[in-house]
Structure 1
Amino acid sequence: MAHHRDIMRFWRDPALPFLEARRVTDGRRVCYERHSHDTFSVGAITGGYSTYWNQGHTERVAPGTVVVMNPEEVHACNPIDDRPWSYDMLYLDNDWLAGLQHELGAPAHLDFQTYSARSSRHPALYRRLVSLCDTLFAPDATRLARETRATELVVEMQRRLAPRISPIEESPLGLRRAADYIDTHCTEAIGLDDICHAAGLSRSYLVRRFKAHYGMTPHAFLINRRIQLGCARLRAGQPIADVAADCGFSDQAHFQRTFKRLRATTPGQYLGGTG
């Protein structure tokens, strides 16, 4: 079995904090539970086939496919029958992306404009994404080269991915209050009654409607938020044990198991893959 470092790498650079990348060359053991990111995510399938699930839509993706996940869209992409597959993933800061969208003609009064496409087979978009990831992982690449390629990718995305014209459906007020309460108290030991009281909802309604609207149960939503927070604190240099305690996990082992389920890597591997 290949070493983790040989099959999965992460890229980050403090000089370009709006970018993060992940490259997997053998994804047979890289399995994700359904999760979401607070950033925009876009990926290129570079080899083999996998199953891509996004907000209830499932498709089989192949080399040449670009997968698109707007912020907070629940998704997962996993191997098929232990067959080899490989991919590049890129995570873009929403505010940085919105700034480029405004330069390219998006309405200035809007924040980041989400895309309607879940995936694309356009060759130019695929090439731009893979080229950017190649540049990010190249040890001798300059900051200017990386930033230029990143900007070129956004220009291509605006050409090839249809912006979502109609506004995203507003969450019912009670469900939005429930999600906001979980966000605010995600590191605490909150219960169902706490959420219901804050949101003004019955337990049966919350359990029934929250998953239908957000794609996760209230518990899964809370755990996903803890992991999002944990990722940010790890990137900021906080020790793993401190992150585990501060983000509401019972101990470091619990944090590591949960991180692995949702991010398909351990916190130490996530940090050790920087370049």
Structure 2
Amino acid sequence: MSIIKEHADFIHLKEFGGLELLKARYHHKQFSRHVHEGYCIGVIEEGAQSFFRTGQLHTAPKGDIILVNADEIHTGSSAVESGWGYRAIYPTYEMLHDVSQDFFTIKNSVPWFPQAVVHDVGLAQQLILLFDLLEQKENTLLKESMYLSTLARLFQLYGRAKLSQAELPEAQRKVELIKDLLSAFPAHDFSLTELAAHVGLSPWHFLREFKKHTGLPPHSWLIQIRLRYARQLLKQGESIAQTAQNSGFSDQSHLNRHFKKAMGVTPAQYLLNFKH
């Protein structure tokens, strides 16, 4: 009986503003609930994946497209005994802004994908071709053209416009203000009382509203913000130990543990294909 080896490789594409491409093959890996700063746009190339998103469990077999919105709570595990393999890109809001404005007329809106799993053979093949191109050196013009045309097709067929923060209901707007505050000061040791007072809510009401609108309690969300900040520091050349300290983790092992649960790799593995 052959043993299926798990691996995950991040390719950092500087010519696309730091866009990340993930190539991964997992067997027993189970991702905890986590968020990404960017969207996840991927294709299952082997086996099948099971993942939680938008309040329910989804299954994506080989050939299907997986879509997770930025800052959206999700998990990941195998849906079959043999595991799953996939490739995915993680564009941020900023990376998608220009192309999405050509499709969505709502001012200051951001793209949103209501479907977690899409079965579209043609678009899946186009994404796979894009991933193949992104792994190659040179060919910048072809890469950029393919990248934009693929995103445009994805928006046109499966994208929607998400309301800007100013147009959100009051309670959700207050939650967004706290998310912004945590993002601005990721290493700060906030108290629940402090955060609730910042938006004029009682601690219990704030705790309930935050979890309702994000899917995580504030302390778990802060861990995700710290992981995001840690990735920025690592890519700027900060040592792993210094990154742990500067991003609010108690020590390097604390960072390593949370990093691997969310990203599938250690900080050192994450930087393997990154040149400072």
CA distance in 2, matches of 1:202, 1:212: 15
- Cα 1:28–1:2 shift into 2, 3 Å: closer
Check whether the contact 1:128–1:152 (CA below 8 A) recurs between aligned residues.
no
> Are the equivalent residues in 2 in contact too, given 1:95–1:112 (CA < 8 A)?
no
Distance apart, 1:11 and its partner CA: 0.9
Match of 1:68 in 2: 67
1:21 aligns with 2:21: yes
Unpaired runs of at least 5, structure 1: none
**Contact conserved, 1:33 with 1:76, CA < 8 A, in 2?**
yes
In the other structure, the counterpart of 1:48 is 47
Query: Paired residue for 2:119, among 107, 121, 127?
Result: 121
Q: Identify which of 141, 144, 153 aligns with 1:144.
A: 141
TM-score (ref. length: structure 1): 0.88
Which residue matches 2:206?
A: 206
Separation (CA, whole Å) in 1 of partners of 2:48 and 2:57: 13
Deviation, structure 1 residue 266: 0.5
- Corresponding residue number in structure 2 for 1:34: 33
The CA deviation string for residues 135-182 of structure 1, in whole angstroms up to 9 with x for no partner, is: 2223x4522232222112112212321324777854614434433333
Deviation at 1:59?
1.3
- For 1:274 and 1:134, locate their aligned partners in 2 and report how far apart those are by CA, in whole Å: 18
Structure 1 CA distance for aligned equivalents of residues 203 and 76 of structure 2:
31
Q: CA deviation at 1:208?
A: 2.4
Q: 1:49 to 1:171 in 2, by over 3 A?
A: farther
2:243 is aligned with 1:243 = yes
Classify 1:183/1:33 alpha carbon distance in 2 versus 1 (closer, same or farther; 3 Å). Answer: same
Match of 1:215 in 2: 215
d(CA) in 2 for partners of 1:165, 1:250 = 36
Equivalent-residue separation in structure 2 for 1:3 and 1:254 (angstroms): 25
2 CA distance for matches of 1:38 and 1:54? Answer: 15
Gaps of 5+ in 2: none
Confirm or deny that 1:110 pairs with 2:108.
yes
**Which has the larger share of strand?**
2
Q: Root-mean-square deviation (CA), in Å?
A: 2.4
Deviations 1:55-83 (A, max 9, x none): 21211110111111121111122123653
- The question of 1:91 aligning with 2:63 is answered no
Deviation larger for 184-193 or 66-75: 184-193
Contact in 2 for aligned 1:39/1:93 (Cα 8 Å): yes
Do the aligned partners of 2:8 and 2:264 also contact (CA within 8 Å) in 1? no
Query: Which whole-Å CA distance do the structure 2 matches of 1:136 and 1:222 have between them?
Result: 32
Structure 1 runs (4+) greater than 4 angstroms displaced: 1-4, 165-169
Offset of residue 85 of structure 1:
0.8
The CA distance in 1 between the partners of 2:168 and 2:60, in whole Å, is 27
Offset at residue 108 of structure 1 (A)? 7.7
Is 1:256 aligned to 2:247, yes or no? no
Match in the other structure for 1:154: 151
CA deviations on 1:213-265 (whole Å, 9 max, x unpaired) are: 11111111100000011112222222212211110011111111111111111
